[in-house]
Chain A
Amino acid sequence: MLAFAIRRSLQIVPTILAVVLLIFVLFSVIPGSIVSALSDEGRGAIDAQVAERMQKELGLNDPVHVRFASYVSKLATGDFGTSFRTREPVTSMLAKRAWPTLQLIFAAMLFAIVVGVPLGFIAALKPGGLIDMASMIGAVSGLSMPKFWLGLLLMYLFALTLGWLPSFGYGDGGLMYLILPAVTLGVSPMALLARTTRAAVLEIMTADFVRTARSKGMSELRVVKWHVMRNALVLILTTIGLQFGSLMGQAVVVEKLFSWPGIGSLLVDSVLQRDIPAVQGAILVAVLFFLIVNALVDLLYVVIDPRIKYS
Chain B
Amino acid sequence: MRAALSGVIIMADSASSAAADVILRVRDLRVHFHLSGGLLGKPRVLRAVDGVDLELKRGECLGLVGESGCGKSTVALSIVGLQAPSSGSIELDGEAVTAGGSIDRKALARTAQIVFQDPYASLNPRQTVRRTLEDPLRLHGVRARSEIDDRVATMLAHVGLRAEHADRYPHEFSGGQRQRIGIARALILNPKIVVCDEPVSALDVSIRAQIINLLLELKETLGLSYIMISHDLGVVEHMSDRVAVMYLGRIVETGPWREIFERPAHPYTRALIAAIPDPLLRVPFVRAKGELPNPLKPPDGCAFSPRCRYVEDPCRREPLPALERHRDEHLVRCWRAKEL
Residues on A facing B (Cβ under 8 Å): 207-209, 211-219, 222, 227, 230-231, 304-307
Tell me if B238 counts as interface (CB < 8 A to partner A): no
List of 5 A-B pairs having minimum Cβ-Cβ separation, nearest first: A217-B109, A217-B106, A208-B121, A208-B122, A216-B136
- 28 interchain pairs, CB-CB under 8 A: A208-B121, A208-B122, A209-B121, A209-B124, A212-B123, A212-B182, A213-B124, A214-B82, A215-B80, A215-B116, A215-B186, A216-B136, A216-B185, A217-B105, A217-B106, A217-B107, A217-B108, A217-B109, A217-B140, A218-B139, A222-B139, A230-B126, A231-B124, A231-B125, A305-B125, A306-B128, A307-B125, A307-B126
A207 touches B136 (CB 8 A): no
Q: Which B residues lie within 8 Å of A212 (CB)?
A: 116, 122-124, 182, 185
CA–CA, A208 to B81, complex, Å?
A: 15
A211 touches B82 (CB 8 A): yes
B110 touches A217 (CB 8 A): yes
How near does chain B come to A232, taking the closest CB pair, in angstroms? 11
Q: Which B residues lie within 8 Å of A211 (CB)?
A: 82, 116, 122
How near does chain A come to B84, taking the closest CB pair, in angstroms? 12
CA–CA, A59 to B13, complex, Å?
A: 103
B121 touches A231 (CB 8 A): no
Q: Which B residues lie within 8 Å of A217 (CB)?
A: 105-110, 136, 139-140
Could you count the A-B residue pairs with CB atoms below 8 Å apart for me: how many are there?
A: 69
A214 touches B105 (CB 8 A): yes
How near does chain A come to B227, taking the closest CB pair, in angstroms? 14
CA–CA, A231 to B109, complex, Å?
A: 24
Tell me if B90 counts as interface (CB < 8 A to partner A): no
Residue of B nearest to A230 (CB): B126
CA–CA, A209 to B116, complex, Å?
A: 9
Q: Which A residues lie within 8 Å of B122 (CB)?
A: 208-209, 211-212
Tell me if B155 counts as interface (CB < 8 A to partner A): no
Q: Which A residues lie within 8 Å of B185 (CB)?
A: 212, 216
Q: Which B residues lie within 8 Å of A304 (CB)?
A: 126
CA–CA, A307 to B127, complex, Å?
A: 10
Q: Which A residues lie within 8 Å of B232 (CB)?
A: none
CA–CA, A227 to B128, complex, Å?
A: 13
Tell me if B203 counts as interface (CB < 8 A to partner A): no
Tell me if B189 counts as interface (CB < 8 A to partner A): yes
Residue of B nearest to A207 (CB): B121
Q: Which A residues lie within 8 Å of B169 (CB)?
A: 306-307
**Interface residue ranges of B232-256 to A (CB < 8 Å):** none
A215 touches B114 (CB 8 A): yes
Q: Which A residues lie within 8 Å of B128 (CB)?
A: 306
Q: Which B residues lie within 8 Å of A307 (CB)?
A: 125-126, 169, 171
A215-B81, A216-B189, A218-B139 given; 19 more Cβ-contact pairs under 8 Å: A207-B121, A209-B123, A209-B124, A211-B116, A212-B182, A215-B109, A215-B114, A215-B186, A216-B109, A216-B113, A216-B139, A217-B108, A217-B140, A218-B105, A218-B135, A230-B126, A231-B126, A304-B126, A307-B126
Q: Which A residues lie within 8 Å of B81 (CB)?
A: 215
Q: Which A residues lie within 8 Å of B139 (CB)?
A: 216-218, 222
Q: Which A residues lie within 8 Å of B82 (CB)?
A: 211, 214-215
A305 touches B126 (CB 8 A): yes
Binary per-residue interface labels of chain B (95-117) against chain A in the complex, 1 for a CB within 8 Å, 0 otherwise: 00000000001111110011010
Greatest chain B CB density within 10 A among A208, A217, A222, A305 is at A217
Residue of B nearest to A214 (CB): B82
Greatest chain A CB density within 10 A among B108, B118, B136, B182 is at B136
Q: Which B residues lie within 8 Å of A222 (CB)?
A: 139
A216 touches B125 (CB 8 A): no
**Given A212-B185, A217-B136, A218-B139, does the pair A306, B126 have CB atoms closer than 8 Å?**
yes
B113 touches A215 (CB 8 A): yes
B116 touches A208 (CB 8 A): yes
How near does chain A come to B111, taking the closest CB pair, in angstroms? 10
CA–CA, A68 to B171, complex, Å?
A: 50
CA–CA, A110 to B81, complex, Å?
A: 41
Binary per-residue interface labels of chain B (123-146) against chain A in the complex, 1 for a CB within 8 Å, 0 otherwise: 111101000000110011000000
CA–CA, A34 to B95, complex, Å?
A: 88
Greatest chain B CB density within 10 A among A208, A214, A304 is at A208
Q: Which A residues lie within 8 Å of B121 (CB)?
A: 207-209
Q: Which A residues lie within 8 Å of B114 (CB)?
A: 215
